[in-house]
Structure formats: structure tokens, C-alpha cells
Structure 1
């Protein structure tokens, strides 16, 4: 009988030692156990367009995608991604050499970092950041260098209410670049803060990347969820950036089919080839029939994207008003489908303790923003709520929260 390895040696790879069960699993389990409204994890509680669901059913019945699809993704979807980038942003990509389909944006991020980093390379990311960024950098042997988005007061919202946002300090970003910096990992619209980087900010980021010869991986999965006067500007559209930028997109956030796990990468051939080399040894391929459906979804008329955005804007305003009424200080997001709040006006300062107690206290689940920070103290008083839920669910959550304080 084989002997067990020594108990003195940890089982978990040291690169992953700091990562345990995600906060999303913990909070979702709390939601299920207490019957709470789950505004923690970012998934809608309604499905996307009926015609796109039917397209997936049709692909299944027609035997398309039931076996392994091509490694780079089916030609129809790669062509649809390229057409979307051209139609929306004037970015021209060759669907055969400059588009890669992935198992959601999370795999795209992991594959890009595994492909492009050498051990010891530094990666600058905007803190707070989606938790898979830190894990993917660690898996690649890189060193993450956080640049923190900091809260500030901004101009009032269109309805006159006070407006707070998180802002990037460009001087801090520039100072973070060293001779070991290989890559900038950006996210705009930004999860969890809801910040949308402006053209002026992106122009300075582009100038820095060109000046220091940096690669950029940009997570743009919330590209169709921008509100008020914000504008989504793909970094690859700026001078000198197309040739050094890996742009990541996703069907889950735009079409409300998060379980389908269909994402994509657009980049020059050399970068796509590098990412594909890593991706093929992760999932190899995924989501065969759903790729055909997403190809049809990307060709939906502009009216779909406008109606989707308008619906999420209404939901944002419902939850923002409810949270404000319940006593939270609200950062009204310019994008995504998350609202960050400050819990200090409620007499609280520890987001972890607050979120763990919230299901029993109010019957609502949220996420402590501190999990998205290396500098945990900077995120301690902030809590994130998702508003990609039915309006009646958001209204009930707001009533419960107000009643709890």
C-alpha cells in the first residue's frame, strides 16, 4: 500500500496558500441557509432573451456543438465577436487569427496571465479587484502590485443627489511601474466600485504603457452596462494600444446567461496565439452549443443593448434609493451591476462582520469589499450589493434593510 506524503508538507501549492473557499461560496451558502435575498453574487434572477435560449436549444437538437468545438471557438462566434468590435468601437480584428473563445472571462484572465508572465514579473492591478485576478497572478508566479482606487466626492448625480465615486490616482499608477513591471491588468467598467475610467484617464494609461513598453490585459465584461454620462472606451482604440492589449469580453454579463460560460479574447495574432497556448491546457474547449447561441446574441439589434442598459439603470436607481433610505452611504455606480456602500453611517466599520451578521439581522446577503483588497483596511468599511435582480426583489431587500436599522 502506498504511503501517504509527510503531514509536515502542506498539500496546497504554496502559490495558492492564501486562497481558500471564495467569499461568494460562503455568502451564497448563508443565503440558502437563512432564506435570505442574495444580493451578493453577481448573477441575474431572470434569463436572457428567449430567442437566444431557443438558439441554444436549436443547436443542441441539430447536433451542433455536442462534440468538441474547434479549439479557438466556432467560426460563427469568432466572426460575431469581430463584427461586434467593429460595429461598436471601430476595432477591426481578424476572426481567424485575432479572436479566441474561452470558458467565460475568468478563464480568459487566467490563460492570459499564465501565457504572458514569467515568475517574478510584476502585474499592476486596480484595487479593489475581482478575486480571480490575484489567484491567476499567483498561479503564473507573478507579483501583484495594487494601485488603490480611492473614494472621493464628485459632482452631484443628474437628479441632484450627492455623488461619491472611486477615482484612480494616475501619479500613483505611474509610480508603481518598475523595471520588473510586465503587465497592467485593468477593469473598466470596474467591479466592485462601479467606476468607469474616463477618456482622459485611459489616455494617460495608454501613454504610460507605450512609454514603458507594457502589455495590458483589460477586462471589459461590463462594456454594455454604463450609466448616466459615462462612456465605455476600449483601451485598444487608443494610439499605440491595439498591438499591446488583450481585451476580454463575456456573454454572461451582457445577455444574462452566466451559466453558459462563454467569453472571448481579442488581440493581435501573437498575443492571441500565446493566450491560446495556455487556454488549450485549461479547458481545451467548452460551451459548444452555447457558442452558436451567443453568435446570434451578438448580432442582436442595438435596441437590445439599449433596453438592457435602461433596465439595469432603473434597477440601480431602485436599489441605490433603498440603500440610502436604509442609512447606507452609497457610491452610485457609473457601470456594472453592483453598488458599493459605506457602512460607517450605520455605526459599523467591519465589512466582514457586517456581512456575516446581515442574513440573520435583515434577511439580505451582501459581499464585504475587503476581500477584493490586498490592503484590507482600505476596504474594511465598504460592502457590495448586486442589483441584477427583479425590481420586486430589490424593493423587498430595501424594506428589510431599512427595518433592520
Structure 2
């Protein structure tokens, strides 16, 4: 007789996650679904990056293990690309580590610094992987809210109107606080933290000797002034690890190439954890990303990318003006939060139990897929239960899709008129 195998508590008893719910609903839908849920791109990287990848896989050296810290060419390219923002030359030898996507990079930071009992402050709504990564390292997550605009149910509001209460942040700090996680531009809000907000966060961390993990994976997609917290002062930089992502920069989320930037006294420990987690990251795609960074400015890619994404955002958001539904105007990134409090789900509408027990936005998500054939993400997945009420009327849509897909989604969303 076989024994019951008991899983580790970190993965046991987890309820069905949002990605499974959305994908299962889409797969079971009687009509084709326009997927504006997960933030993967609906088009290829630019030709100069794709061509670099094709050439790299033909090279013997690119098809073997990369150095655990990352291919030197990519570390040099990251240094060249980011040093102008930092106002000094970043040393590719000991201030940059290439990781298997930004997510593994962040896990490496948590594994490199967090021990059981350490506290990590996270702002909600949050990228869901932060939580599991922190808990797997033995840390305790402490939540501080980004508060939605007071008029978010009735008016279009800027992402900057989602606010951080500095006093609440200060109150969350204890003698056990080891790290704060910052995300700017923010997923899912699209908020770009102002220089003044970052200064307040940075000074609090300097005062209490708290590490700042700054998730800046959308750092090439900003529509208002964007400040990197590590550049505010030498003292703040000494505490900051900056996270970057080739997947977000070059439309290649499946490549899983990211990087960490920080002073040697921080990077060495994140790098040590990275070595133990995956040893090294995919070599030929590192080479392609290096070439991409080397050529991006000459190709005018960064400005073109920003302009095209903003145009997609504006194109898609036309539907909300047409329907009279308020939304959050993003400062950066490629997500838009839309408030659907005016949408009335028919009384008695049947939901499967795992949806019925979740907040209203999960039911809206299911309803949109089944009735209109449009998939989006319910943002309460990125909240603790005590604060999910703040987001239960919102839905997150990803606009990083081809224009004809956005137009198809808009056409289907016009079906909301009969439920308002």
C-alpha cells in the first residue's frame, strides 16, 4: 500500500490561482476568446534582436554554459545602457548579475538576504510572485496599501492618484524589517512613483538600514518623468538592487533573461543565491539581448517602443469613453485598470464554486470570458483579503497586442451596454 506523500507547506493547500481560472475558462468557452489577460506580447521582438538570436544559436560558445554571473558581453551592454542614468560607470565585473528572467533574479535577492523571521514590506496591489518568493525564503510579508483614487468609481483618474501613505509605510517598519519591495512603473496600476515619493521611501530605508529591491522591469515604457530610486543619493544606492528585464524591454517574455544591478556588497550575495538556484541562464539569448542593448539607441527603438505602446493604450481606452466606464490612465507599462462597478451581472448567474467564493472581480472575469469572449485579470489576486474590497470592481487589461486584436476586443466589449 502506498504511503500518502505530504507536500511542503509552501505549496500545499493553495487555492486555484488566477492564471488557472482564466485559462480554464477561456479553454472551455464556446466562442474564441480575445486574451488581454496575461502580459505577454502579441508580436515578435524587433528584427535586430531576432536576427541576433538566430546568429547566436549557430555559435558553439553561445550554446554552452554561460558564466554564472552572465555573459560578459551582456553585462557590459547593461553597464553601457544604464550607467548614464546612474551618473557613473557600473562595473560589469561585480555590480551586474544576469538572471533567468527578472523573477528568478528577485528570488535570488530574497534567498541571498532573507532568513526566517525577517520582514519584507510589499505594497499592494503586488506582483503575485513576490509573495511566494519571500515566503519560500522564510520571510514574513508586511503589506502597505497603495490607495485607489476616491473618484475611481466615477471618473478617469491618473495612476499617480493611487497614493502611498508615508506614515503607514513608516508604521510598518520594525526592527525585523530587512527589505522593501518597490515596483515602478507599477503592475497592475501603471503608477510611476514620483521623485518625491521615492525620496521618502529611500530616506526611510537609509534611516533604518533596509534593503530596497526596486522592480523596474517596465523601465523603458513610461509616459511621465521616470526616476530610478538608486540614483537619488549614494546612501540610497548603497541599499538598492535594481531589477531589469529583457523580456519586457524587447517583447520576448519567453526568453527569460533579466538582470540585477547593485553595489558589490549586495550583488555578491544575490549572485551566490542565483548560482545555487540555476547556476547560469540561457546563453544564446543572453548574447542576443546584449546585441539588442548595443543597437537599441541606434535603431531609435526605445522611443519608438514607448510611442507605439502609448498609441495602443489610447486606441484601446477609446472603448471605455464610449461605454462611460472610468479607468486608471497609466503613467507607464502596458496594463490598464478599468472600473466595472456600473456593470450588473444578471441575478442568479451561475458560477463554478471556485469562482463564486472569490470577490466580485473574479465573477466579472468569468462573465466577460463566457458572455463576451474577452479575458482580463481580476486584480484582487494581488491583494490580501482584508484589502481586496478596494479592487473588486476593477479589471486589468493588457494592451501589448496587435492592433487588430485590440479592435476585436473593443468590438466585443460593446456587448457590455446591455448589462449597464
Task: Tell me the TM-score normalized by structure 2.
Answer: 0.89
Corresponding residue number in structure 2 for 1:232: 226
Tell me, yes or no, if the aligned pair for 1:28 and 1:40 is still in contact at 8 Å: no
> Where in structure 2 are the equivalents of 1:18-97 lying within 5 Å?
19-34=14-29, 35-97=32-94
Q: Which moved more, 1:12-21 or 1:197-206?
A: 12-21
Paired with 1:98 and 1:221, the residues of 2 have a C-alpha distance of: 18
| Shift in Å, 1:309 | 0.2
Corresponding residue number in structure 2 for 1:369: 379
Corresponding residue number in structure 1 for 2:406: 394
> Where in structure 2 are the equivalents of 1:120-199 lying within 5 Å?
120-152=117-149, 163=158, 165-199=161-195
Residue 341 (structure 2) pairs with residue 331 (structure 1):
no
Alignment CA distance shift 1:271-1:163 (3 Å)? closer
| Shift in Å, 1:285 | 1.5
Q: Which of 201, 204, 219 is residue 200 of structure 2 equivalent to?
A: 204
Q: Which moved more, 1:48-57 or 1:62-71?
A: 62-71
Paired with 1:20 and 1:75, the residues of 2 have a C-alpha distance of: 42
Paired with 1:16 and 1:81, the residues of 2 have a C-alpha distance of: 35
**For 1:224-279, what per-residue CA distance to the aligned partner results, in whole angstroms no more than 9, with x for missing partners?**
1111xx22211110111111111100001111011111000011112111111211
Alignment CA distance shift 1:205-1:162 (3 Å)? closer
| Shift in Å, 1:376 | 2.5
Paired with 2:71 and 2:10, the residues of 1 have a C-alpha distance of: 34
Tell me, yes or no, if the aligned pair for 1:16 and 1:138 is still in contact at 8 Å: no
> Where in structure 2 are the equivalents of 1:270-289 lying within 5 Å?
270-289=265-284
What SS does the aligned partner of 2:188 have? coil
What SS does the aligned partner of 1:216 have? strand
| Shift in Å, 1:103 | 0.4
Tell me, yes or no, if the aligned pair for 2:157 and 2:328 is still in contact at 8 Å: no
| Shift in Å, 1:21 | 5.0
Residue 238 (structure 2) pairs with residue 243 (structure 1):
yes
Aligned residues: 394
Tell me, yes or no, if the aligned pair for 1:339 and 1:384 is still in contact at 8 Å: yes
Tell me, yes or no, if the aligned pair for 2:86 and 2:230 is still in contact at 8 Å: no
Paired with 2:231 and 2:113, the residues of 1 have a C-alpha distance of: 21
Residue 26 (structure 2) pairs with residue 16 (structure 1):
no
Paired with 1:154 and 1:262, the residues of 2 have a C-alpha distance of: 39
Corresponding residue number in structure 2 for 1:403: 415
Paired with 2:331 and 2:308, the residues of 1 have a C-alpha distance of: 14
Corresponding residue number in structure 2 for 1:384: 396
TM superposition outliers: structure 1 runs of 4+ over 6 Å: none
What SS does the aligned partner of 1:186 have? strand
Unaligned runs of 5+ in 2: 346-358
Paired with 1:327 and 1:143, the residues of 2 have a C-alpha distance of: 41
Residue 366 (structure 2) pairs with residue 356 (structure 1):
yes
Unaligned runs of 5+ in 1: none
Alignment CA distance shift 1:283-1:304 (3 Å)? same
Paired with 2:61 and 2:84, the residues of 1 have a C-alpha distance of: 27
| Shift in Å, 1:187 | 0.4
Q: Which moved more, 1:298-307 or 1:143-152?
A: 298-307
| Shift in Å, 1:64 | 3.3
What SS does the aligned partner of 1:147 have? strand
Alignment CA distance shift 1:18-1:340 (3 Å)? farther
Paired with 1:18 and 1:146, the residues of 2 have a C-alpha distance of: 22
| Shift in Å, 1:162 | 5.4
Paired with 1:151 and 1:109, the residues of 2 have a C-alpha distance of: 26
| Shift in Å, 1:91 | 4.6
Task: Tell me the TM-score normalized by structure 1.
Answer: 0.93
Paired with 2:279 and 2:100, the residues of 1 have a C-alpha distance of: 9
> Where in structure 2 are the equivalents of 1:256-271 lying within 5 Å?
256-271=251-266
Q: Which of 217, 223, 246 is residue 221 of structure 1 equivalent to?
A: 217
